[in-house]
Amino acid sequence: MTEHLSPAEVARYERDGYLFPYKVMDAAEVAEARRRIEAFERKLGGPLPKELRHRPHLYSSTIDAIVRSPRILDRVESLLGPDILCWESVLFIKESKDPAFISWHQDAAYWGLEPYDVLTAWVALSPSTRASGCMRVLPGSHAGGIAAHKDTFAPNNMLSRGQEIQVEVDEAKVVDIELPPGSMSLHHVKIAHGSDPNTADDRRIGLAIRYIPAHVRQTIGRDDTATLVRGSDHYRHFEPEPRADGDFTEAGLANQDRLRRRRMEILMRPAA
């Protein structure tokens, strides 16, 4: 059984810039993924440090399996075509009652990826609700250009530069992407989005997976990397990445550290 999107869903994505919810993991799978992440955190002695939140699929075969899940990729394929690379994954963890938030922004402003055929599959590993600080989007905002952004470096802002869109967001039009554990949303790289702090009693854990079709290129630097997760890559715009050889292994953690630094170097280059 495939789980591709219907033509009506594809049309809705093109109009609104997002789709949700889609169940992509069973309760037992979500519980097991969360258990493994939290067992690793206990070993580390605290919440996953910032450096380890980026591209966990490179050091965790549990997360690598989610990134390659047919239930996710069938839907992604309906929007991006058959040749799909995972460019990035991020664990967005908001502790209960933590003031961390994400200012309104468009991802396309910072990633250097062009053309903008880029989407994020956001998978909830714990309840993502208005109270726990779920992602919020401005429907249709992907259809225009990229607004000016300002680097605020604000404390508690979870974005690397505290980047914030210089446009008034009409609260009446905002949609809350509420997701139960195991469900995902899909959103376009140009859609304006943000999120509020987690006021709920549980941690809010989400895995954001950034997918691109093989024809997309990195315009800020030539030395970027990505993982082919479906089809084939005839373009070779990205260097292939080593696959996780287990959960939290030394080799996997070393690969993630090396490739994360390389990515940071590319993204932190001043815009031309």
- Could you list the residues that contact Ni ion (CB under 5 A)? 107
Report the C-alpha gap between 90 and 94 in whole angstroms. Answer: 12
Report the C-alpha gap between 253 and 76 in whole angstroms. Answer: 27
Q: How far is the CB of 211 from Ni ion (least distance, A)?
A: 14
146: phi then psi, degrees, rounded to nearest 5 = -100, 120
Q: How far is the CB of 102 from Ni ion (least distance, A)?
A: 7
Question: In the complex with Ni ion, which residue's Cβ is closer, 188 or 230?
Answer: 188
Question: In the complex with Ni ion, which residue's Cβ is closer, 111 or 248?
Answer: 111
In the block, tokens 């069973």 appear at: 26
- Cross-strand pairs, 136: 176, 194
Question: In the complex with Ni ion, which residue's Cβ is closer, 107 or 196?
Answer: 107
Torsion from C-alpha of 99, 100, 106, 112, nearest 10 degrees:
160
Q: How far is the CB of 105 from Ni ion (least distance, A)?
A: 6
Q: How far is the CB of 187 from Ni ion (least distance, A)?
A: 9
Question: In the complex with Ni ion, which residue's Cβ is closer, 107 or 178?
Answer: 107
Q: How far is the CB of 107 from Ni ion (least distance, A)?
A: 4
Output the residue with the shortest Cβ distance to Ni ion: 107
Question: In the complex with Ni ion, which residue's Cβ is closer, 107 or 241?
Answer: 107
Q: How far is the CB of 257 from Ni ion (least distance, A)?
A: 23
- Cross-strand pairs, 86: 211, 227
- Cross-strand pairs, 88: 210
Report the C-alpha gap between 200 and 133 in whole angstroms. Answer: 8
Report the C-alpha gap between 156 and 147 in whole angstroms. Answer: 23
Question: In the complex with Ni ion, which residue's Cβ is closer, 182 or 206?
Answer: 206
Report the C-alpha gap between 226 and 52 in whole angstroms. Answer: 17
CA atoms 16, 112, 163, 72: torsion sign:
positive
